Structures are given as C-alpha cells and as structure tokens.
Amino acid sequence: MEEDTELQQHLAALAASGQQALTREERLKRQRSLDALGAPSFAATCRDRGVAPLRRSAARIFQLNIGLYCNQACSHCHVESSPRRTAEQASRATVDRCLELLAGATAGTRGSADAITTLDITGGAPELNENFRYLVERAAPLGVEIINRCNLTVLLEPGQEDLVDFLARHKVRVVASLPCYSEGNVDAQRGRGVFERSIAGLHLLNAAGYGVDGSGLQLDLVYNPGGAFLAPAQSKLEAAYKSELGSAYGISFSRLLALNNMPIKRFADWLAKRGKLQEYMGLLVNGFNPAAGESLMCRDTVSVRWDGTLYDCDFNQQLDMALTHLGMGAGAGPAIDGAVGGAGGGGASSRPLTIWDISSLDELTGRPIRVDNHCFGCTAGSGSSCQGAVA
C-alpha cells in the first residue's frame, strides 16, 4: 500500500514538473551524494583504475525501445512505464528505418566481422506496440537473434492469446522479468497479483517449449534486487531460482540474468524518500570493478528510442543523454561525465542524432561514450548489463 501511494505521488510529480525537470533534479541528488562521499567522477574512476578508454566499438546489439506503454507500473521501473504512457510509441516509419540499418549491418551483408548479432526489443511492454509483430516478422529473415523483453503478465492480456505461439514460430528469445521466486517480494516491487500472473505466463511459455532442454527456445529470467543492495552472484542465484521454481511450480528456464538496480527514475526516488540514496551510491562506488568497466554494454550496443533518437544505452535514453551531431567520429573528445538534457557530452546546443541522420551504424564506431554519475550502477560488484552480470 505504501509503495502504491509513493508511485502515485511520483507519477503526480512527473505530471506537474515534467520529465526533464525531474531528471535534472534526480541527477543533482546523485551528484550531491557522490560529493558528500568525496567520490571522483565515473570517467575519472575508470581512467584511474586502468579501464580501457570509454569509446564505442562496432555495434553488436541493436536495442530498440519500441514504446513506453506498459500494462504494469512497477515501483523500480527505470523507464517510468505505465498504462498512462500511450503517446510514446514507435511508428511504422521508425521501425522500417531500424530494419534498414539492421539489414546493412548483419553478417549476411558484411561477413561476420563487426556484424550486428542481436536485435533486442524492449519497452514498456514491447508486445503491445502495434508494430511489434511487423518488426519481428521482418527481422527474423535477417539472421539475427531476436530478444523480446517480456514482463510475463502481458501474455495474459486480452488479444495476446496467440503471442507465445508467435514468439515460438519466429524463435524469439524471451527475456522475462521475475525479480524473485517469492510472491511477496514480486508483488511488492511489481504490483498486487503480478507474481501469480507471471507464473501463469511462465507455464504458457514452458508448454510451448520455452526453457525446455532441446527445444531451441530460450527463456531467460531477470532478477533485480528488491532494495538498496547489489545483485548476488548470478550462478548461485540461478541455482536457487531453478530449484525453487522447479519444485514449487514445475517451471523450467534457460538462464538467470542478475542485474543491479540503477540509481535513476523510480528507484532513485524510492531511495531518496528513504534517505538511502547516499548509502546506495557509496555501495556502487566502493563496489567499482574494473573488469566490469571493460565489458560495459555501451561499448557494443546501440540504443534507439521510440522516436528514432540514438543513445549509448537504455539508461542514457531515459536520462535524455542522446548521441549528438557534435563530436561525430573517432577523433572526438574523451568520455565526459555529462549533465542531463544535452549539456556535458556534446554541449547544451547539440542536436540529438537519430536513425535518419546516419547512413550506417559504422558511423557510431569510435565515438566517446556519454557517461555520468548513474554509470556506477554498471560497474559495481559483478557488473550489470541487459545481458546480466559481466564480470
């Protein structure tokens, strides 16, 4: 109940102040916490700890955030999704341009070196975008792995009765959120009744062969902590998930991906309301792992917003830290801890770069990555990325 009230207050603040103002305020709170800890910037920390320069290499993963509409409104959502976000949806034109860029970057068109291997479709609830199935049907023949980031409950939404069969037919890899194997913890983070419906969704996926050995249909689950602590060791947690979900519900799955909570958006608000933001930032800074810095997902991921704007990652996308027209090319300046809304990694007047401004994904290779104080979430402990732990 307390979490529901907080979420309503947060959504009301969002409506009153606007996304950009809240994002700016949130960044300042993170920075004040770091200053109080005497922590250096993320870029300086990477440099001082011997991490390779923060520059983009050839893109391997093309991640499209197809829209922010979601049938849920989870308390830790880093993209601020909810059933109210109906306007921010990728159009057919955006999807078609993504397909063109993808087609020019796959192993089939350019050989295996530096080719895109994966189309990662996220949201919101991506399946509820009217162009989701159009995208999957046209991307499948390109020979890339297709990931659908699924919240499980969407499988039970009216009109989605054939969704599991559709995903299986196109061999889409399902990466599904289930932050715990206990009902109480899941419902606290994702809303009342979500655990029960998630289990029902998993049963539908297992019945179609997802997560079943030998089926060729991959089903991964995503864990994120239920509070202000880092994700535990991924392999140990996977064993516990497999044992608990198998014995209690007869559910099987392929792999568990353990993610840290990023100190942004609703989770940042959740921390600040409890006076825990500084403590959490301290945990991230003290847990800095140089090996995770080498494997940051932003090195080889290109992230695309519903409107076609380009980013280094989905977190930067939610913080309005777009790639920009200024500083194009491998010779551009160093990675900069950048302020929200364009200042920092390219200048306040920099125009965001979009999928229509580039003729090939190669144009992004060598650019400095736009890092800032939230990036400590990716390098703490075993590291964290959309593919789980990285170190």
Q: How far apart are CA 25 and CA 7, in angstroms?
A: 17
Q: How far is the CB of 198 from ligand SF4 (least distance, A)?
A: 10
Residue 315 is a binding residue for ligand SF4 (CB under 6 A): yes
**Cα–Cα distance measured from residue 359 to residue 319, given in angstroms and rounded to the nearest whole number:** 25
Asked if 136 touches ligand SF4 (CB under 6 A), the answer is no
> Cβ 332 to ligand SF4, closest distance in Å?
16
123 touching ligand SF4, by CB under 6 A: yes
> Is 90 a residue that touches ligand SF4 (CB under 6 A)?
no
- Which residue, 140, 248, 258, 155, is CA-closest to 210? 155
Q: Is 74 in the site for ligand SF4 (CB under 6 A)?
A: yes
Beta pairing, strands 255-258 & 145-150: unpaired
Smaller CB distance to ligand SF4: residue 143 or 185? 185
Q: Counting contacts by CB under 6 A, is residue 336 touching ligand SF4?
A: no
Q: Which of 1, 42, 83, 20 is nearest to 265 (CA)?
A: 20
Task: Return the number of the residue (70 or 101) whose C-beta is nearest ligand SF4.
Answer: 70
Tokens representing 10?
A: 């947060």
Extended beta strands in 144-218, E state: 145-150, 173-177
Which pair of structure tokens corresponds to residue 45? 């920390």
119 near ligand SF4 (CB under 6 A) = no
Which is closer to ligand SF4, CB of 65 or CB of 131? 65
CB 114 to ligand SF4: min, Å: 20
Separation in Å, CA 21 to CA 26, 172, 323:
9, 37, 20
Which region among 11-19, 20-28, 74-82, 161-169 touches ligand SF4 (by CB under 6 A)?
74-82
**Least Cβ distance, residue 80 to ligand SF4 (angstroms):** 8
Minimal distance, residue 385 CB to ligand SF4, in Å: 7
| Residues in region 365-384 near ligand SF4 by CB under 6 A | 369, 371, 374-375, 378
Contact between 187 and 199 under an 8 Å Cβ cutoff? The reply is no
The nearer residue to ligand SF4, 123 or 381, going by C-beta atoms, is 123
Task: Name every residue whose Cβ is closer than 8 Å to that of residue 78 and which is 6 or more positions away in sequence.
Answer: 261, 262, 264, 265, 266, 267, 314, 315, 318
d(CA 27, CA 205): 39
Residues in 148-187 that interact with ligand SF4 by CB under 6 A: 151, 177
Nearer to ligand SF4, 97 or 190 (CB): 190
Site for ligand SF4 contains 63 (CB under 6 A): no
* Contact between 312 and ligand SF4 per CB under 6 A: yes
Q: What's at 329, amino acid-wise?
A: G
Question: Tokens 């736009």 sit at which residue?
Answer: 370
Tell me how many helices (H) and strands (E) the chain has. 15, 8
Closest CA relative to residue 75, chosen from 275, 258, 318, 267: 267
Q: Work out how close the CB of 298 gets to ligand SF4 at its nearest, in angstroms, rounded to a whole number.
A: 3
Per CB under 6 A, which of residues 281..310 are in contact with ligand SF4? 296-298
In whole angstroms, how close is the CB of 319 to ligand SF4 at the nearest point?
Answer: 8
